A and B are shown apart, each in its own frame.
Chain A
Amino acid sequence: MARVTSNEAAQRGRWRRIVLRACAGLGLLALAVVWVGPQALTAHLAGVAPGWFAAALAVAIAANAVSAWRWSQLARALDLNAPYAPLASAYAQGIAVNAFLPGATAGGDALRALRLARLGNPPMASYIVKRIIRIIPQIFLISILAFIIIQLPPGDYLTEHLNRLRQSGQHLDEAEIRRWVQMYGLDRPMYEQYLKWVGNILFRLDFGYTFQWNKPVRDVIASRMGYTFAIALFSAVFTWVVALPIGIFVAVKQYSIADYFFTLLGFIGLAVPGFLLAMVVMYVSYTQFGVKVGGLFSPEYQIQPWSWAKFVDLLGHIWIPIVILGINGTAGLIRTMRATMLDELRKQYVLVARAKGLSELKVLLRYPVRIAINPFISTIGWLLPWFFSGGTVVEIVLNLPTAGPALWRALMGQDMYLAGSYILISGTLVAVGSLISDILLAMVDPRVRFGSLEGQ
């Protein structure tokens, strides 16, 4: 009896939720329509061929379904409880979050991770919560550091800047100056300035003003950070794709010629910093092939709007910084991979796996690689700072439209708002990156998530 009632209640609750969601969805849709303007929208929609639209919709749905399936296979390969239906819905939600929230794919990934955690392992959820709580003081400390950097140059940068402007004989609007002073609380004590600065960032995404560009920092840095982040991410992917098979191969063929070759290459790859490599690459390609390496676009595409041709042009340029940046990390990762694999290959479960009759490839992939992959996942945590670090100078050398050269130009003029914002943003991205890598690691390695519960 009681059971039935509770069942009914659950049913009712479910219906109510569905209705609420539908209402919320319709409301959002209405809001969007109002935002864009109904006329503009109908005008747009009138131009759409219904057949093509339906085809595109079908393709999109199919693509998402396939992606979700691939993702559920992946999760299952990791021993997670991952039935297809809830994963498909989680995937769709993730895509939606990615589309609507800033922060690239981080939001969607976190959401999907959470959904996975809820499906399977309760320790996972608590692990994630603990890990997220730890990131808060971390970002707070980063913000303090960034603020210190802003305050570092002797004198008040605004006064300095005004002096410079006055010297060059420019006209200064008193009202404008007062507005700046007030906006950043320059007449207030230090801690109030800090709060003001943080508040501006948090509530208005206002990172301050760069006098070098005469623009808000946000405008200068936003698109540039995007490129920087993309390059870092692709470098990481490059690093994994290259280092994973080579690391496995070299460990399996220990003391072979290939092993020595890659060990030597690894040493050199670790010792040659990216920017020196970039200089040499530029020199060689210029003198040998007459190609001027640098930038992300050919001059003719520089200011054009996005198009397929521009995208292809970008692909033709972007691989150079990706490879140059990736070489360091690749060398390091091959070394780590080799060492871990050698350790794991000696373990008894490898022999046990062979005794099961598994093929050698399966033995490798399901056993030693399964553990040696952990450092790869941890790399998400340290590759990002690495790429931001080495990448800055490489970007400058290669003259890319990324954040590094902007930072450089700002620093040459002691324009510290941009520098501080760069530190804050890159530091935060790195902190989020290591959060994601920790969560992934916990997903892949049960010892981590159980360890977090047992309170080691």
Chain B
Amino acid sequence: MSRVGSVFGGARARLGWRKESAEAKEERFYRAGQWQLVWWRFRRHKLAQAAAVVLAIFYLIAAFAEFVSPHDPLYRYKQFAACPPTGIYIRDLNGRFRPPFVYQVVRTRDPETMRPIYKANAEVTAPIKLFVHGSRYRLWGLFDCDLHLFGTEDPETAPLFLLGTDSVGRDILSRIFFGGRISLTVGLIGVAISFVLGLILGGISGYFGGAIDEVIQRIIDVLISLPTIPLWMSLAAALPQNWPQLRIYFATTIILSILGWTGLARVVRGKLLSMREEDFVLAARLDGESEWRIITSYMLPGFASYIIVSLTGSLPGMILGETALSFLGIGLRPPTISWGVMLQDAQDIMAVAQLPWVLSPVVFVVIAVLMFNFLGDGLRDAADPYAM
């Protein structure tokens, strides 16, 4: 009798196991369906899609900055300091149409102010070429190369400065491309850190509740109410000035994420609290699932979409934060290149009046932030059609 029972029990256990794995599959299917829905809703958001494409281009440029930039961002063309954006022509003096080309640039000086004046020498033209050989670089520290996406053959006499040069003769466009590498990734890493912090602290807060929850919530209250940029400024200013660039960079990302985690922690906590009461979590607990598994495989997928939305939402703030800090000279410092560092040149209004093109990083910052806002909006609508 007992033998029979145990045999049946074993069979039932096996069956049960099979059944569970089948259920898991079904569940995965259901989840895929949910993501599918999110994707469909996102597809309807044309603006967000366009933003995603623009951002993808930005990040690609940042990744291949060495190749995409026509110049070495640190190289100073002494003969072309403070040179305005180069004109591109398709029609030469004889009125003939030709592929895009530039004229040779000659420097003279204003006899009164002694400021350099750049003139095109119409005698000598230089075609703009794709895949030209120029300054040597090591792409990602791995591949030796001197190929550039576009440029002119002889930058020392007939250069292509699409956005002009700064006061010491560095090409601004190339610097913007390289600066994107820092400015666009600072936010990403900051968000990654915020993500981990928010998940852990929000998880602790929501899962354990009680006094720990209370303390964490009060800390979040305070952090949320603090003015962000002064706090970032104070923290960044405390960084030792003699640290190497890379360490300053990472320290900056950590500073930026010090406030970023709070929003996510709130979301995670709220969701955990409401989900703790849900039937399927109770069912899993009755099934004897471990708490860890309940959290990771039942609860987390339930609000993955919220997490993504919350993270995209905090990216623009971090990009702006880095820009502001570096602009003020208390975040990253030269020779590191970032959009904020570049804008240090624009601190003096007299200098800007002479070289208005040094303001061009502003355009890139604004576009990046705007695109992240559009993307965030689209993702939010897609992930949760009922949220405001």
Touching chains A and B, CB distance < 8 Å: yes
> A294 and B349: CB pair below 8 A?
yes
Which of the 9-residue segments A65-73, A97-105, A407-415 touches chain B? A407-415
A149 proximity list for chain B (CB < 8 A): 231, 234-235, 238
The residue from A138, A282, A381, A416 contacting B349, defined by CB atoms under 8 A apart: A282
Indicate whether A138 sits within 8 Å of B226 (C-beta atoms), given known contacts A268-B370, A339-B388, A412-B330: no
Nearest A residue to B224, CB-CB: A385
Q: Does B192 contact A (CB under 8 A)?
A: no
Q: Does B230 contact A (CB under 8 A)?
A: yes
Nearest A residue to B214, CB-CB: A137
Q: Does B54 contact A (CB under 8 A)?
A: no
Indicate whether A396 sits within 8 Å of B328 (C-beta atoms), given known contacts A138-B218, A149-B235, A152-B238: yes
Which of the 9-residue segments B128-136, B148-156, B172-180, B352-360 touches chain A? B352-360
Indicate whether A145 sits within 8 Å of B238 (C-beta atoms), given known contacts A138-B221, A280-B359, A280-B362: no
Interface residues of B in 191-229 (CB under 8 A from A): 218-219, 221-222, 224-229
Interface residues of A in 407-456 (CB under 8 A from B): 407-408, 411-412, 414, 416, 419-420, 422-423, 426-427, 430-431, 434
Q: Does A275 contact B (CB under 8 A)?
A: yes
Q: What does the 1/0 interface line of A369-411 toward B look like (CB < 8 Å)?
A: 0000000000001000110111011001100000010011001
Q: Closest CB-CB distance, B47 to chain A, in whole Å?
A: 9
CA distance A396 to B356 in the complex (A): 20
CA distance A427 to B347 in the complex (A): 28
> A276 and B225: CB pair below 8 A?
no
CA distance A393 to B238 in the complex (A): 18
B327 proximity list for chain A (CB < 8 A): 275, 393
Residues of B within 8 A of A (CB-CB), count: 42
> A152 and B328: CB pair below 8 A?
no
> B356 and A283: CB pair below 8 A?
yes
A268 proximity list for chain B (CB < 8 A): 366, 370
B231 proximity list for chain A (CB < 8 A): 149, 423
Q: Does A162 contact B (CB under 8 A)?
A: no
> B226 and A271: CB pair below 8 A?
no
Q: Closest CB-CB distance, B165 to chain A, in whole Å?
A: 18
Interface residues of B in 315-344 (CB under 8 A from A): 316, 320, 323-324, 327-330, 343
> B226 and A423: CB pair below 8 A?
yes
Nearest B residue to A390, CB-CB: B229
Nearest A residue to B347, CB-CB: A397
CA distance A97 to B329 in the complex (A): 43
CA distance A411 to B232 in the complex (A): 11
Q: Does B233 contact A (CB under 8 A)?
A: yes
Q: Does A267 contact B (CB under 8 A)?
A: yes
Q: Does A272 contact B (CB under 8 A)?
A: yes
CA distance A268 to B374 in the complex (A): 11
> A142 and B222: CB pair below 8 A?
yes
Indicate whether A392 sits within 8 Å of B234 (C-beta atoms), given known contacts A271-B366, A287-B356: no
The residue from B225, B228, B320, B369 contacting A434, defined by CB atoms under 8 A apart: B225
B388 proximity list for chain A (CB < 8 A): 339
Nearest A residue to B363, CB-CB: A276
Q: Does B373 contact A (CB under 8 A)?
A: yes
CA distance A386 to B222 in the complex (A): 14
Q: Does B141 contact A (CB under 8 A)?
A: no
> A271 and B316: CB pair below 8 A?
yes
Q: Does A141 contact B (CB under 8 A)?
A: yes
A272 proximity list for chain B (CB < 8 A): 366, 369
Q: Does B60 contact A (CB under 8 A)?
A: no
> B366 and A423: CB pair below 8 A?
no
Q: Does A154 contact B (CB under 8 A)?
A: yes
Interface residues of A in 241-278 (CB under 8 A from B): 267-268, 270-273, 275-276
Q: Does A16 contact B (CB under 8 A)?
A: no
B353 proximity list for chain A (CB < 8 A): 283, 286-287
Interface centre among B226, B362, B366 (most CB of A within 10 A): B226
CA distance A273 to B352 in the complex (A): 19
> B234 and A420: CB pair below 8 A?
yes
A389 proximity list for chain B (CB < 8 A): 227-230
Q: Does B365 contact A (CB under 8 A)?
A: yes
Nearest B residue to A154, CB-CB: B240
> B370 and A267: CB pair below 8 A?
yes
Q: Closest CB-CB distance, A299 to chain B, in whole Å?
A: 15
CA distance A154 to B231 in the complex (A): 18
Indicate whether A141 sits within 8 Å of B219 (C-beta atoms), given known contacts A267-B373, A280-B362, A282-B349: yes
> B226 and A422: CB pair below 8 A?
no
Indicate whether A141 sits within 8 Å of B222 (C-beta atoms), given known contacts A267-B373, A287-B353, A287-B356: yes
B219 proximity list for chain A (CB < 8 A): 141
Nearest A residue to B362, CB-CB: A276
> B328 and A393: CB pair below 8 A?
yes
Nearest B residue to A428, CB-CB: B225
CA distance A276 to B323 in the complex (A): 10
Indicate whether A430 sits within 8 Å of B234 (C-beta atoms), given known contacts A283-B349, A393-B328: no
Q: Does B88 contact A (CB under 8 A)?
A: no
Indicate whether A427 sits within 8 Å of B222 (C-beta atoms), given known contacts A286-B349, A393-B324: yes
Indicate whether A407 sits within 8 Å of B225 (C-beta atoms), given known contacts A267-B374, A286-B349: no
CA distance A282 to B362 in the complex (A): 14
Q: Does A222 contact B (CB under 8 A)?
A: no
Indicate whether A392 sits within 8 Å of B230 (C-beta atoms), given known contacts A141-B222, A270-B373, A419-B237: yes
B218 proximity list for chain A (CB < 8 A): 137-138, 141
Q: Does A292 contact B (CB under 8 A)?
A: yes
A158 proximity list for chain B (CB < 8 A): none
Q: Does A279 contact B (CB under 8 A)?
A: yes
Interface centre among B218, B222, B369 (most CB of A within 10 A): B222
CA distance A416 to B324 in the complex (A): 20
Q: Does A13 contact B (CB under 8 A)?
A: no
Q: Closest CB-CB distance, A17 to chain B, in whole Å?
A: 40
Interface residues of A in 340-370 (CB under 8 A from B): none
Q: Does B346 contact A (CB under 8 A)?
A: yes
Q: What does the 1/0 interface line of B18-54 toward A look like (CB < 8 Å)?
A: 0000000000000000000000000000000000000
CA distance A392 to B320 in the complex (A): 13
Q: Does A83 contact B (CB under 8 A)?
A: no
A267 proximity list for chain B (CB < 8 A): 370, 373-374
Nearest A residue to B371, CB-CB: A271
Indicate whether A412 sits within 8 Å of B373 (C-beta atoms), given known contacts A149-B238, A434-B225: no
- Top 9 A-B pairs ranked by shortest CB distance? A388-B227, A411-B237, A152-B238, A271-B370, A389-B227, A419-B234, A141-B222, A389-B228, A389-B229
- Beyond contacts A283-B353, A434-B225: 18 other A-B pairs, Cβ-Cβ < 8 A, are A149-B238, A153-B240, A270-B373, A273-B323, A287-B356, A339-B388, A385-B228, A392-B230, A392-B233, A397-B347, A404-B230, A408-B328, A411-B234, A420-B234, A423-B234, A426-B226, A426-B230, A430-B225
Provide a sorted-by-A list of 22 A–B residue pairs whose CB atoms are within 8 angstroms: A137-B218, A138-B225, A141-B219, A142-B226, A145-B222, A149-B234, A153-B238, A267-B373, A271-B370, A276-B323, A279-B346, A286-B349, A292-B349, A339-B388, A385-B224, A385-B227, A388-B230, A411-B330, A412-B329, A416-B237, A423-B227, A430-B225
